[in-house]
């Protein structure tokens, strides 16, 4: 268990290992759900990617080779799965 200290201003700093466990990077968001009996649930906010995020994702990865439509489809599927787009 990790214990955190609340500052006079009501702020809490999460330790590096907590953020790593949640998969949180600087600038990302954390969601806090308040539960009964003074408990809370903390989760990382997983943003859904947009089509615009795919722009240029193959740049520098093809060594100048022209890809087939199937190879491009596979690359898009892999990038989407890595970004969590395959999850509800």
Find the mean pLDDT for residues 51-61: 72
pLDDT tens, 58-87? 777 778 788 889 988 888 788 777 766 555
- pTM for the full predicted model: 0.47
Find the mean pLDDT for residues 35-47: 89
- Rounded Cα–Cα distance for residues 88 and 83 (Å): 12
Domain shared by 35 and 65, yes or no:
no
Residue 28 resides in a domain: yes
Higher pLDDT, 4 or 53: 4
Higher pLDDT, 64 or 10: 10
Structural domain of 26: 1-45
Percentage of the chain lying above the pLDDT 90 cut: 23
Domain shared by 41 and 62, yes or no:
no
Task: Yes or no: say if 45 and 31 are a contact pair by the CB < 8 Å rule.
Answer: yes
């Amino acid at each position: 268990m990790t214990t955190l200290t609340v500052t006079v201003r009501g702020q809490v700093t999460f330790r590096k290992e907590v953020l790593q466990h949640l998969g949180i990077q600087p600038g990302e968001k954390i969601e806090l759900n308040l539960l009964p009996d003074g408990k809370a649930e903390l989760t990382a906010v997983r943003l859904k990617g947009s089509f615009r995020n795919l722009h240029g994702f193959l740049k520098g990865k093809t060594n100048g080779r022209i890809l087939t439509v199937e190879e491009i489809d596979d690359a898009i599927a892999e990038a989407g799965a890595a970004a969590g787009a395959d999850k509800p």
